Amino acid sequence: MSDLHELSASEQVRALRAGDVSSHDLTEHYLARIDRLDRQLGAFVTVDAEGALQDAARADELLARGEPGPLCGLPLGIKDLFATAGTRTTFGSATTAEYVPAEDSWTVGLLRSAGAVLLGKTNTPEFGATCYTENDVTTRPAVTPYDPGRYSSGSSGGAATAVAAGLLPVAHGSDSAGSIRTPAATCHLVGVKPSRGLVSPAPAIGFVSAGTEGPIARTVADAALLLDVMAHPAPGDLYGWRPTGGFADAATRTPGRPLKIALWTETGVDGVETHPESVLAAQRTAALLRELGHDVREIPIPVTLAEPVQQAFVAWFGYSVSAAVSALVPAERRNLLQPYSRYLAEAGDALSGNEVVQTQSVLARYAGGFLGALDEFDVALTPTTSAPPVRIGHYHEHGVEAVGNRMLNWSCHTPWANLTGQPAISVPSHVDGDGLPHGAQLVGRRCHDAELLSLAAQLEDAALWEDHHPSCWS
């Protein structure tokens, strides 16, 4: 059974239902790989082997009775920003390292009800505030298995590392500024950020939310498999909506018509050029889309990341971290915060209510510029990141005050889609001569998630990317 992880998640589900493999054997296979490989990769914060094997035993009983849920028996990891009943949820912070929730978050509950076997919690930065995954809970940052000296991005870095290294078949992630898409790009994976409201943030409540949960997977079909389970908004969700059909079905068909697609590769950041390999990722994708009959038109970037917008992003990060720290961290434990988190929390604490509203207004105008410019297009196409995966320590080379802008320089292609609420997906493009992965981002119309998945599946079927794996895969 040394090759079980070679099967896609969809193939594993079919093998479980056919009785070709048991959930117990599948779970033990992944637990053994985690035990053997994760010390060098930093994918997990917590591994619950005992609980996972209990979940697997229950799944095997349901499979034997012919009563499986859609994920019955499939091993899964949950990002450690989301509550898991009975399993510690650290939020990537030493300040809350021993917190054990009494209840699951809404989406975790859906995944459990679907029969998933929860192996543990995947690595995330402190309160999810950075596009790199490094904290004081784990001894190693989450790294891309393609080069363990480089981050697998964040804040869903652990999830992407786990899937790319064959420690999980598919993983749960979340994305507030690119946190599913940029890790997917650094690990040669598919990462889906759904439209606002498709996946409920419950029990969190807010009038404005840039973040949402979504899947990280090896294939479009695997991402759709997980998204079908997650896409059931909680009752009372302000933005909740339900799709008219299944996403797994959407991933088996091509778009029903040629799509009009806008392409740009500029970063929009003064003085920051997109790396040639990142440009190539978008251009390769555009060329194939044209061959498939779509109308791809190169346009100037609709809105730049001017200094006021960058300042607004950093202020918004500060406000968000300040709110999390106020809600979760007792005053006597604030000394355990990492330096950048402390910097953000203090900056957020200093904001007045008027300044928070002004920050939201700047970001709303920035987002509105994209919506207006893209009104005539079905899809936007960009690189996912402005450069290859970065080396460990890169973001702190010029002190905590520079971290926010250095992150935006690298991840500048993704945050706008969070603010507009549009669905976005990062698909693999290629692995460069240094062995580093690069991805392309596709952004669709709001609530047209199924069309976007169909387009990504069409690219996959047309062999936009090869089936690469890192050296630890075998």
155 close to 81: Cβ distance less than 8 angstroms: yes
- Per the annotation, the verdict on 156 as an active-site residue is no
Q: What is the phi/psi pair of residue 45, to 5°? A: -90, -45
Indicate which residue of 179, 322, 386, 411 is catalytic.
179
Helix or strand holding residue 15 (H, E): helix 9-18
User: What is the Rg, in whole angstroms, of the alpha carbon atoms belonging to the chain?
Assistant: 21
**Backbone region of residue 175 per phi and psi (left: phi > 0; alpha: psi in -120 to 50; beta: other values):** beta
Q: Is 121 a catalytic residue?
A: no
For residue 341, which of 392, 404, 391 has the smallest C-alpha distance? Answer: 404
Distance CA(84)–CA(86), nearest Å, equals 6
What is the three-state SS of 99-118? CCCCCCCHHHHHHHHCCCEE
Secondary structure (3-state) at 383: strand
Amino acid at 360: Q
Catalytic residue among 22, 105, 155, 278: 155
Q: Give the tokens for residue 368.
A: 């509105």
Q: How far apart are CA 347 and CA 314, in angstroms?
A: 9
Give the residue among 69, 65, 73, 77 at the shortest CA–CA distance from 21.
73
Q: Among 22, 23, 79, 195, which one carries the catalytic annotation? A: 79
**Any catalytic annotation for residue 320?**
no
* Residues assigned a catalytic role: 79, 155, 179
